[in-house]
Structure 1
Amino acid sequence: MEHVDVAVIGGGQSGMAAAQALARRGRAPVILEASDRAAGSWPHYYDSLTLFSPARFSALPGMPFGGDPDRYPHRDEVVAYLTAYADRLQADIRTGLRVAAVAANGAGFTVETEGGGRLAARAVVAATGSFGRPLRPALPGLESFTGRVLHAADYRDPAPFAGQRVVVVGAGNSAVQIAAELARVSRTTLATRVPVKYAAQHLLGRDLTYWLTRSGLDTAPLGRLLRTPPAQRVLDDGRYRAAVDAGAPDRRPVFRGLGGEKITWADGSVETVDALILATGYRPDLPYLAGLDGALDAEGRPRHRGGAALGHPGLAFVGLEWQRSLSSNSLRGVGRDASRAARRLAAFLGRT
Structure 2
Amino acid sequence: MSEQHTQVVIVGGGQSGLAAGYHLRRRGVDFVVLDAQATAGGAWQHTWNSLHLFSPAAFSSLPGRLMPKQPGEEYPTAGHVVEYLSDYESRYELPVRRPVQVLGVHRDGQFLRVDTDSGAWRARAVISATGTWSRPFLPAVPGRADYEGRQLHTISYRRPQDFAGRRVIVVGGGNSGAQIAADLAYDTELTWVTQRPPRFLADDIDGRALFDAATARRRALDEGRTDSGGVAALGDIVAVPSVWAARDAGLLKTSPMFVRLDRDGAVWADGTRAPADAVIWCTGFRPALSHMSPLGLRGPRGHIATQGTRCLEEPRLHLLGYGDWTGPASATLIGAGRPARDAAREIAGLVGMSSLG
Q: Same fold (TM over 0.5)?
A: yes
CA drift at 1:268: 1.7
Structure 2 SS opposite 1:198: coil
Residue aligning to 1:192: 194
Matched letter for residue 21 of structure 2? A
More helix by share: 2
Residue aligning to 1:255: 258
Residue aligning to 1:112: 115
Judge conservation of contact 1:244–1:251 (CA < 8 Å) in 2. no
Judge conservation of contact 1:187–1:249 (CA < 8 Å) in 2. no
CA drift at 1:263: 1.6
Matched letter for residue 156 of structure 2? D
Judge conservation of contact 2:16–2:320 (CA < 8 Å) in 1. yes
Residue aligning to 2:31: 29
Instruction: Name the Cα RMSD after superposition.
Output: 2.2
The alignment status of 1:72 with 2:75, answered yes or no, reads yes
Judge conservation of contact 1:254–1:266 (CA < 8 Å) in 2. no
C-alpha change, 1:14 and 1:184, in structure 2 (3 Å) is: same
Residue aligning to 2:213: 217
Residue aligning to 1:297: 299
More strand by share: 1
Normalising by the residue count of structure 1, what TM-score does the alignment of the two structures yield? 0.91
C-alpha change, 1:236 and 1:72, in structure 2 (3 Å) is: same
How many residues align structurally?
344
Residue aligning to 1:135: 137
CA drift at 1:139: 1.4
Looking at structure 2, the residues matched to 237 and 254 of structure 1 have their Cα atoms a distance apart, in angstroms, of 24
C-alpha change, 1:273 and 1:302, in structure 2 (3 Å) is: same
Judge conservation of contact 1:52–1:72 (CA < 8 Å) in 2. yes
Looking at structure 2, the residues matched to 324 and 217 of structure 1 have their Cα atoms a distance apart, in angstroms, of 16
Residue aligning to 1:286: 289
Judge conservation of contact 2:306–2:326 (CA < 8 Å) in 1. no
Residue aligning to 2:150: 148
Looking at structure 2, the residues matched to 340 and 67 of structure 1 have their Cα atoms a distance apart, in angstroms, of 28
Residue aligning to 1:86: 89
C-alpha change, 1:126 and 1:277, in structure 2 (3 Å) is: same
Residue aligning to 2:236: 233
C-alpha change, 1:33 and 1:210, in structure 2 (3 Å) is: closer
Residue aligning to 1:46: 48
Normalising by the residue count of structure 2, what TM-score does the alignment of the two structures yield? 0.90
Looking at structure 2, the residues matched to 257 and 67 of structure 1 have their Cα atoms a distance apart, in angstroms, of 45
Structure 2, unmatched stretches of 5+, are 221-226
Structure 1 SS opposite 2:334: coil
C-alpha change, 1:237 and 1:149, in structure 2 (3 Å) is: closer
Judge conservation of contact 1:323–1:329 (CA < 8 Å) in 2. no
Judge conservation of contact 1:190–1:250 (CA < 8 Å) in 2. yes
Looking at structure 1, the residues matched to 244 and 162 of structure 2 have their Cα atoms a distance apart, in angstroms, of 25
Matched letter for residue 6 of structure 1? V
**Deviation readout 1:67-97 (Å, 9 max, x if unpaired):** 3698211011101000000101243110110
Residue aligning to 1:273: 276
Judge conservation of contact 1:307–1:317 (CA < 8 Å) in 2. yes
Q: Which of 339, 342, 354 matches 1:340?
A: 342
C-alpha change, 1:198 and 1:186, in structure 2 (3 Å) is: same
